[in-house]
Structure 1
Amino acid sequence: MSVPNTAAASTPAALRTPRERARAQTVADIVRLGREHLAVHGAAALSLRAVARDLGVVSSAVYRYVENRDELLTLLLIDAYGELGDEVDAAVGRVAEADFAGRFRALGRAVRGWAIREPARYALLFGSPVPGYRAPADRTTGPGTRVIYSLMTIFDAAWRAGALGAAPAPAAAGSAGGVPAAAAPALEVPRPLASDLQAIREELGLAVPDDLLARGALVWTSLFGAVSFEVFGQYGADTFSAPDALFEHHLSVLGGLAGLN
């Protein structure tokens, strides 16, 4: 997977020259101020000139470290993806390896907790695209896929351990009172989708079969959809008075869909 293309990402601080350490600190200060401006003004209004002003230098000095607004956005993306990934990894790592349902819940809670605490940075990662900006895939794909990789790793480990349940069959036509009139056949994975899933399986080294991998994609998008609805206020101010309970219910439902409960 890709990593940030910076000297700071690959060179231990103790091994850098004083000049390299000074540069790394200046870039870190620019990113810190960029976070603050992002929270106040939003990504579309991000300005390197404004960051330079708060840093106490002329804008031409900042351009020696971060060449333009797009580069600053890229650094902020990498920074936010990295922090979210670290929090998810730490939360999952505190749960026993064989407790697959617990690890899934820990992952979901970590995503929600970070998103609520960092709504502007969450919006940069998962909200509307910033006009005129295209994230460089070689630098952001790796950091940006850490959470989904962690999620798929949980599913795959559960499958390998024989702890992942079979896909629930859809309700049959003619069911009454929520009880199917007859057992329904399992959904087949269309061939084009199967090709995509095979590519994902090979890239990530997974063993989980197509139907469960497709279910994992639904769980992934549903988890982030629930978080986005809460962070962006899409439920409405007075619809749910207990958002924590609602999210825990969502996690239980999604865990069941994944076969982890």
Structure 2
Amino acid sequence: MRSILKIVLLCVCTVVTYAQKTNSGLPVKLKFLTYNVGHFNQGKLGGFQGEGEIATAQMKAWRKWIGDMGADIMIVNEWNEKFDKDGKIDATEELLKPYYNNIYFGVKNEWIFNGIATNYKLENIRQVDWFGQYYAVVGDIMINNKPVTILSTHIPWQVEWHEKAVDKLIAELSKYERFICLGDFNAKNSTFERLKLLGYNVASGGAQGWFTTAPGGKMNGKIDVNIDNIVTSRNIKIMKVEAPNTGLNDLDHLPVLAEIIISE
């Protein structure tokens, strides 16, 4: 009889333990993409410079690429409301809405225009300003009944602002238990090393090495060209990092893609 009771108790404990693990909803794996699209004009204002059928064909190439990447959450920097110089193609309508139901943008400045596109619902959308036109769009996604804060950021490159903006970013990140911060950091490698020393994880400069995202600068002999990145809190892991050529904005920026593992 005691043996039977022990077996029953063991089975019950096993079932309870399994239920606790499966009902926790963790780990969660999401594919993230961050891309400075450079106003669809290699980093210059004005949108794609082709006209008519050429502009339509280029828009379709962008749209296909975004669909091919299949990101759960896509971050954009230097977005343009209009894809083309003639202002006939609505970029958000044509490029993002075919794939994403929820699109969140910050203030549209002349140069800086950041956004988040996803099929998940983000809560508490807000904007954190750095200096000049530069800022981060911030929102929370609820995973396992706790917020994970998503930041779409663009850090200024200007010498008088850059380090102070990085300090402000670090102060902002310190507020969150779980965060994923993506965008154009305009940063030297040493900045990402500093973030690692704080216990954060980085996609470029992390376990898989460095990923150049400013190839035009590299071709011209510049150093510290790994400027676009994904940074997470210590309890969120990063895997399968890549910065692929796209054939779209490659003289200005390359995107960074990664699988993000939320396990706590």
Does TM-score exceed 0.5, indicating one fold?
A: no
TM class, shorter-chain normalised?
under 0.3
| TM-score normalized with structure 2 length | 0.22
Query: Which structure has more strand as a fraction of its residues?
Result: 2
Query: Which structure has more helix as a fraction of its residues?
Result: 1
| TM-score normalized with structure 1 length | 0.23
